[in-house]
Structure 1
Amino acid sequence: MNETAHGEKQQTVTRTIEAPSKDIFQILTLPARHHEFDGSGMVRSDEKSQRIQQVGDVFTMNMQSSNGEYQMENHVVAYDENKLVGWKPAPLGTEPPGWQWVYRLEPVDQDTTEVSLTYDWSEVTDQNLLEKNIFPAISSEQMDESLARLQSLV
């Protein structure tokens, strides 16, 4: 596992996966499969979401934490077919507070892909959220578990 931190406002984990980038991208862009590779244990299921196709798409996920069940709307902010997909989560019916998840796929060769997952909270400006000291809410170990699970799916 490679890990980087930038001013404690983002963390990235990287894993080389023996699969073509298009196969990995197919899983990442189908919200119905997100619970299969979530290393945090918080994602339960999608809420009748379509495949992610472009920046501006929104998909809703059913979540669970120690505070109970809830839903998050995920606003797609990065999309480059077979290379990049990312979204900013937001509580249902609200604007995203500023953190985002970004998957980058770099082909090593036709059957191998370096996958990076970045959790970035550098755009969070809500002082109440920042004062709660909840970032990072997901550890780099949980992120690496997500990539390990993703690897097992392809």
Structure 2
Amino acid sequence: MPTVNQESVNATLTFAVPAARVFAVLADPTTHAAIDGTGWVQAPADRAPLTEVGQIFRMDMYHSDHPDGDYQVVNKVEVLDPPRAIGWLTGTDQGDGRLEFGGWIWRYDLTPTGPSETEVTLTYDWSAVPQYIRDRGIRFPPFGPEHLTDSLHHLAELAAPASRV
């Protein structure tokens, strides 16, 4: 069940998968559209694995309430502690070489609970969003809390070992 407070929302799920395997899926931008519980992430514009804090990676997005429908976000890796934590800020390319991040972060914390089991907590935190962005009328979070739980279920499916026939 997701937990919402004034500045963040999180959800936790236990996977029957080792933490290193879960982390590897999260560090691969090509899996993010399949993980996304909102359906907004369409495809990675940058496909390189996430390997360092400060790394930039872009995602093609779609949202019916966005002025353009299709748009692109820029993400900056803020947390990278394999296989325990990974997180990124989301923002936009201003078109003149400047990247602007809005102050919200996506973070996954992985806690091994056994040799082949991991508790995964997904947090969306908007506590660093400046007032001028809040004044634009953007609602936080811009999705229902169930989307985090959906994302964790998608991640668990992607990280699960392939079934044998």
What TM-score do the two structures reach when normalised by structure 2? Answer: 0.88
Matching of residue 4 in structure 1 with residue 3 in structure 2: yes
Q: List per-residue Cα deviations over 1:9-30 (Å, max 9, x = no partner).
A: 1011000011000110011000
% identical aligned pairs: 34
| Structure 2 Cα separation of the partners of residues 126 and 39 of structure 1 | 27
Q: Alpha-carbon deviation of 1:91? A: 1.3
Tell me the residue number matched to 1:25: 23
Tell me the residue number matched to 1:113: 118
For 1:16, the aligned partner's letter is T
| Structure 2 Cα separation of the partners of residues 127 and 48 of structure 1 | 29
* Aligned mate of 2:151, from 137, 146, 150: 146
* Aligned mate of 1:137, from 124, 142, 150: 142
**Count of equivalent residues:** 152
Q: Could you tell me which runs of 5 or more consecutive residues in structure 2 were left unpaired when the two chains were aligned.
A: 160-165
Q: Alpha-carbon deviation of 1:95? A: 1.7
Which segments of structure 1 move beyond 4 Å, counting only runs of 4 or more? none
Q: Could you tell me which runs of 5 or more consecutive residues in structure 1 were left unpaired when the two chains were aligned.
A: none
- Indicate the RMSD between aligned Cα atoms, in angstroms: 1.3
Tell me the residue number matched to 1:53: 51
Q: Please say which structure displays the higher CA radius of gyration.
A: 2
Q: Alpha-carbon deviation of 1:32? A: 0.8
Paired residues of 2:4 and 2:145 also in contact (CA < 8 A):
no
Q: List per-residue Cα deviations over 1:16-49 (Å, max 9, x = no partner).
A: 0110001100110000110011000000000133
Paired residue secondary structure (1:95): strand
| Structure 2 Cα separation of the partners of residues 80 and 55 of structure 1 | 9
For residues 72-111 of structure 1, the aligned pairs below 5 Å read 72-93=73-94, 94-111=99-116
Paired residue secondary structure (1:35): helix
Paired residue secondary structure (2:103): coil
What TM-score do the two structures reach when normalised by structure 1? Answer: 0.94
